[in-house]
Amino acid sequence: MVTTAPNNLVYERPEGFTDTPTHYCPGCTHGVAHRLVAEVLEEMGVLDKTIGVAPVGCAVFAYNYFETDFVEAPHGRAPAMATGIKRVMPERVVFTYQGDGDLASIGMGEIVHAAARGENITVIFINNANYGMTGGQMAPTTLPGMKTTSSPNGRDVETQGYPIRVSEMLSTLDGAGYVVRRSLHDPKNIRLAKKAIRIAFETQIRGLGFSLVELLSTCPVNWNMKPVDALKFVEEKMVPYFPLGDYKLSAGAAQIKI
Ligand X SMILES: Cc1ncc(C[n+]2csc(CCOP(=O)(O)OP(=O)(O)O)c2C)c(N)n1
Contacts with another protein by CB under 8 A lie at 18, 47-51, 53-54, 60, 63-64, 66-74, 77, 80-89, 92, 109-110, 112-113
Q: Nearest to ligand X by Cβ — which residue?
A: 99
Alpha-carbon span 106 to 16, nearest angstrom: 29
β-strands 130-131, 137-138 pairing: antiparallel
Residue 128 touching Mg ion (CB under 5 A): yes
Q: Indicate which single residue of 59, 111, 164, 196 sits in contact with ligand X (rule: CB under 6 A).
A: 59
- What contacts 221, CB < 8 A, 6 or more positions away? 25, 28, 132, 136
Do 85 and 119 touch, CB atoms closer than 8 A?
no
Radius of gyration of the CA atoms of the chain, in A: 17
Do 129 and 123 touch, CB atoms closer than 8 A?
no
Residue 58 touching ligand X (CB under 6 A): yes
Of 98-106, 160-168, 176-184, 193-201, the window that binds ligand X (rule: CB under 6 A) is 98-106
Q: Which does 250 bind (CB under 5 to 8 A by kind): ligand SF4, Mg ion, ligand X, none?
A: none
CB nearer to ligand X: pick between 24 and 177: 24
Q: What is the DSSP letter of 24?
A: P
Alpha-carbon span 256 to 258, nearest angstrom: 7
Residues between 113 and 152 that touch ligand X (CB under 6 A): 126, 128, 130-134, 139
Contacts to ligand SF4 by CB under 6 A = 24-25, 28, 30, 58, 128, 132-133, 219-222
